[in-house]
Amino acid sequence: MTKFVFVTGGVVSSLGKGIAAASLAAILESRGLKVTLLKLDPYINVDPGTMSPFQHGEVFVTEDGAETDLDLGHYERFISAKMRKANNFTTGQIYESVIRKERRGEYLGKTVQVIPHITNEIQAFVERGARSTWDGHPDVAIVEIGGTVGDIESLPFLEAARQMSLRLGRNQAAFVHLTLVPYIATAGELKTKPTQHSVQKLREIGISPDVLLCRADRPIPDDERAKISLFSNVPQDAVISVWDVDTIYKIPQMLHDQGMDTIICDELKLTPQPADLSMWAKLVEAIEHPKHEVTIGMVGKYVDLTESYKSLIEALKHASIHTSTRVNIEYLDSEQIEKEGTDCLKQLDAILVPGGFGRRGTEGKIKAIRYARENRVPYLGICLGMQLAVIEFARDVAHLAGANSTEFDPSTDHPVVALITEWLDRDGRIEQRSEDSELGGTMRLGAQRVPIAPGTLASRIYGDHVNERHRHRYEVNNHYVPQLEAGGLVISARTPSENLPEIMELPQQIHPWFVGVQFHPEFTSTPRDGHPLFKAYVEAALAGQAARKKAA
């Protein structure tokens, strides 16, 4: 039977609960256990895909096409289980499900209440989520509860976790609580009071943590740990210090060194093999001792350029690990390029335009793409970055003046990127995808297997097919493909049923490395395996750098 570890957070948000949960999962996996992770989000939105990335960071897309919290990205990067739609749910989804049942009369006219109906539904969703990976029952499901203890929103989730641990019985569930131990410079001291209060809050609702993870900017000395232990009723060896580190991939080792996995296994009466974290040690070693260095310019909207590209930034880090190359990322504001030109691109070894929505900044991105094409700078365009590369090529090479996407110019003379209003979904039904479709229901989402044309750069990178995840509405317009091909553009992969362009590239006689992909490769990159496309991209940046040095 699956055992559960609930991970809660206290004092403030953004302490890295997702990474802590994922790191514990990684250690348990290295001990031979089958592990999965779940994220419970206490907000009311039913569809996280429609939430602003500025408020909430990146939307992570699972293989089965769910738009989820970015923590699921951390999960997939730390353990081998693939997350599915059921691994992330919100308060909104719980209420929606309960209200639907009530409308169908399933509660037989009883008064429907938070306890037990909402809390039961949460438990059912948790159990369903735990079963959604590993074809059945994992040994351990780690359940991260979003929000901070003390918030009104997260109360039903905490209550459900408490009830669940009671229902499952002894040694079936454990609780981990993550708090902040701030360093107060004027006093020259680490302060434990917020942690004490936060554990009190948790105990008020009937949860006694088995492990406290105490975040601080430095290691927490033993006397402070003893104090936290005394006030919070958590044994001192279970008061674990988590200090700031330069790479998140050091966290599994840090937690293991302090015995966290053993405490959890003891609590759950599990006796797996010893941990083997050598893979993580190798990754950290590669990050800390690179042999080469490149600088990549990432061109985006100024406001987007942080949390919204979590997976992409990690994917570049993985490529750095697997090419022994330090990859510096320069974030370049496309609106500035629009106004001031491309001088800021001169020192770069490669250029990248990531995914994005809306017209703002697109002309600056197109300028950056033209610069990359004309100056033979390695270019990777992801989703929007591919669409804009097609637009740039159409305007400048294929003589289609004013070419655009109907997303940015609905009355363009040459809609080289446009909406496909009728779309066959994977079950063969016709799905309407038009501009007026209901928000959140109009995207091409999730993984799709697509064959690659032999002899292309894409086939050298990926082999004979690609299976990557999508999250977009617009497509390269097939009607223009012959004109683009006549101009020299190569479509190296097309979707099998609809024949839509999936990958574009320039022939290597024209440009050493210019690739646009309609999917989001960053979602499948992991630190342990890296990713073929990002690896090839960084290698192209290195090759370009070497060629320039030789020429100089």
The binding site for CTP comprises 13, 151-153, 191-196, 227
Neighbours of 99 (CB within 10 A): 12
Q: How far is the CB of 355 from ligand GLN (least distance, A)?
A: 3
3-state SS, residue 409: coil
Confirm if 387 and 405 have CB atoms less than 8 A apart: yes
Catalytic residue of the set 267, 505, 522, 539 = 522
Helix (H) or strand (E) holding 329: strand 325-333
Beta carbon nearer to ligand GLN, 407 or 505: 407
Single out the residue of 43, 107, 331, 357 in contact with ligand GLN (rule: CB under 6 A). Answer: 357
Q: x-or-dash pattern for ligand GLN, window 299-338, by CB under 6 A?
A: ----------------------------------------
Instruction: For residue 386, give the nearest of 366, 360, 411 by alpha carbon.
Output: 366
Could you list the residues known to form a binding site for L-glutamine, using ranges.
356, 384-387, 407, 473
Please spell the DSSP secondary structure of 302-319, one letter per residue: GGGTTGGGHHHHHHHHHH
Question: CA angle, corner 476, sides to 432 and 371, nearest 5?
Answer: 145
Neighbours of 217 (CB within 10 A): 11
Task: Please report whether residue 473 would count as binding ligand GLN according to CB under 6 A.
Answer: yes
Q: How far is the CB of 453 from ligand GLN (least distance, A)?
A: 23
Q: How far is the CB of 385 from ligand GLN (least distance, A)?
A: 7
Pick the stretch among 47-55, 121-129, 338-346, 465-473 that binds ligand GLN (CB under 6 A).
465-473
56 a catalytic residue: no
Task: Please report whether residue 407 would count as binding ligand GLN according to CB under 6 A.
Answer: yes
Catalytic residue of the set 383, 470, 502, 511 = 383
With a CB cutoff of 8 Å and minimum separation 6, the contacts of 85 are 62, 64, 65, 66, 68, 132
Task: Please report whether residue 469 would count as binding ligand GLN according to CB under 6 A.
Answer: no
Pick the stretch among 227-235, 273-281, 424-432, 467-475 that binds ligand GLN (CB under 6 A).
467-475
Q: How far is the CB of 419 from ligand GLN (least distance, A)?
A: 8
Single out the residue of 471, 494, 511, 531 in contact with ligand GLN (rule: CB under 6 A). Answer: 471
3-state SS, residue 546: helix
Please give, one letter per residue, the 3-state secondary structure of 214-277. Answer: EEECCCCCHHHHHHHHHHHCCCHHHEEEEECCCCHHHHHHHHHHCCHHHHHHHHCCCCCCCCCC
Considering only the C-alpha atoms of the chain, give the largest distance between any 2 of them, rounded to a whole number of Å.
82
Return the structure tokens found at 199.
């554990």
Task: Please report whether residue 408 would count as binding ligand GLN according to CB under 6 A.
Answer: no
CA–CA dist 140, 265 (Å, integer): 10
67 a catalytic residue: no
Single out the residue of 474, 513, 519, 534 in contact with ligand GLN (rule: CB under 6 A). Answer: 474
Task: Please report whether residue 423 would count as binding ligand GLN according to CB under 6 A.
Answer: no
Beta carbon nearer to ligand GLN, 242 or 383: 383
Q: How far is the CB of 442 from ligand GLN (least distance, A)?
A: 9
Task: Please report whether residue 384 would count as binding ligand GLN according to CB under 6 A.
Answer: yes
256 a catalytic residue: no
CA–CA dist 320, 17 (Å, integer): 25
Dihedral angle over CA of 403, 367, 387, 542, nearest 10: 150
Residue with tokens 């063969």: 428
Catalytic residue of the set 475, 520, 531, 539 = 520
Could you list the residues known to form a binding site for Mg(2+), using ranges.
71, 144
Beta carbon nearer to ligand GLN, 80 or 406: 406
Q: How far is the CB of 386 from ligand GLN (least distance, A)?
A: 8
Question: CA angle, corner 117, sides to 114 and 123, nearest 5?
Answer: 105
In the complex, the residues that contact ligand GLN under the rule CB under 6 A are: 355-357, 383-384, 407, 471-474
Catalytic residues: 383, 520, 522
